[in-house]
Structure 1
Amino acid sequence: MAQPQRVPAVDAGSEAKAGAGSKKKLLIVAGAAVVVLAVVIGVVAGVMKHNSDSSPEALVQKTITAYTDALNSGNLDTLRAVTCGAPHDFYQKISADQFTSVYRTSKDQKSIPLVKRVDAIQVTGDTAIAQATVYTEADPSKTSARTFDLRNEGGSWKVCDPQPGK
């Protein structure tokens, strides 16, 4: 039979040191978990933002912004690119000189509409209607509602005339 062995008593100081080591390890593990969680949240948020940026509604909003920015800056090439139907025909047929003259007059009169916000977008297949609040530089405090009709042509949204019957 084996002889009993004497186990020395643990002094309070060494027990505290052992507890401190465990607490330190626990804090390191908890800190690492927080970092991993933050990275996961960042990745998920990035994927959601990317997906929302490519939604039909987001693309319609970007087209409206491109259109109104082009109106405000007098960018005829962009207006030709982001319109369809009668507006597109107008911008295609007007000469650069004629457009510049019309643009300067509108700019001088501060009558070019500026979008304060897009209030609602409804996408149905390849068509969309957006309701926006607009104002002019002539009287920024006076806002009005404006409807933008859009069509998806060849994978790009374009500002068009309202479709008949709508």
Structure 2
Amino acid sequence: MSPTDDFQTPRSPDRTGPRRIAPATPAAKSVEGRGARRGRLSPSTIAVAGVLAALGVAGFLIARIAQSGPESEVGDAVKTFVAALDSGDLTALQESTCGTLADFYQDIPPAEFADVHADAVTHGGIPVVTSIDTVQITDDSAIAQVTAHTHRDPSNESPRTFNLERIDGVWKVCDPE
């Protein structure tokens, strides 16, 4: 028998040769169907994701702490003062100011203040704070640098400064001394 004869004649059942052996159990399929490796994360990918998640949580906590610190309290005092100016709330202005500024709001009769406020609104002179940029605190004094514009000219933003004092634990806007 020649080597080519072997390829031309069918094999007899008693002849031995390579046989395919079926696996004992079928291979597990991935959830996605084809490719069991698709969808699996390597240990290094899991580690990187864990580090990123930890950094995100730390950043969130730092931001929350910063929002509740003295700088935030100063910013809140500035916002309260500006909101009271905008709305014409004389009582809030009396409560949120100190020094000669507080004296002005304490001494002005409500009807006269209403006229002054109406005039300021008519002429667009009420400031609008668009951002609180920096806050510097020294003991019970603070300076807040803000970016603001007036209702009359919203496109003309400029830096402005508010001076504050902490009186009985509460920050109040004051005239500079």
TM over 0.5, shorter chain: yes
Q: CA RMSD in A?
A: 3.2
Deviation digits for residues 114-133 of structure 1 (CA, Å, limit 9, x no counterpart): 11222221111111111112
The answer as to 2:105 corresponding to 1:99 is: no
The one of 9, 12, 23 equivalent to 1:12 is 23
Paired-residue identity, %:
36
Measure, in 2, the Cα distance between the counterparts of 1:39 and 1:77.
46
Measure, in 2, the Cα distance between the counterparts of 1:134 and 1:16.
68
The one of 74, 92, 106 equivalent to 1:78 is 92
The answer as to 2:153 corresponding to 1:136 is: no
The answer as to 2:75 corresponding to 1:68 is: no
> Structure 1 residue 74: deviation in Å?
0.6
> Structure 1 residue 144: deviation in Å?
2.6
The one of 50, 57, 66 equivalent to 2:64 is 50
In the alignment, which residue of structure 2 is the partner of 1:111?
A: 125
> Structure 1 residue 65: deviation in Å?
0.8
| Bigger proportion of residues as helix | 1
Measure, in 1, the Cα distance between the counterparts of 2:169 and 2:53.
34
Measure, in 1, the Cα distance between the counterparts of 2:54 and 2:102.
45
Provide the TM-score with structure 2 as the length reference. 0.68
In the alignment, which residue of structure 2 is the partner of 1:89?
A: 103
AA matched with 1:124: T
5+ residue gaps, structure 2, are 1-21, 31-35
Aligned length: 147
> Structure 1 residue 48: deviation in Å?
3.2
Q: Highest Rg: 1 or 2?
A: 2
Provide the TM-score with structure 1 as the length reference. 0.72
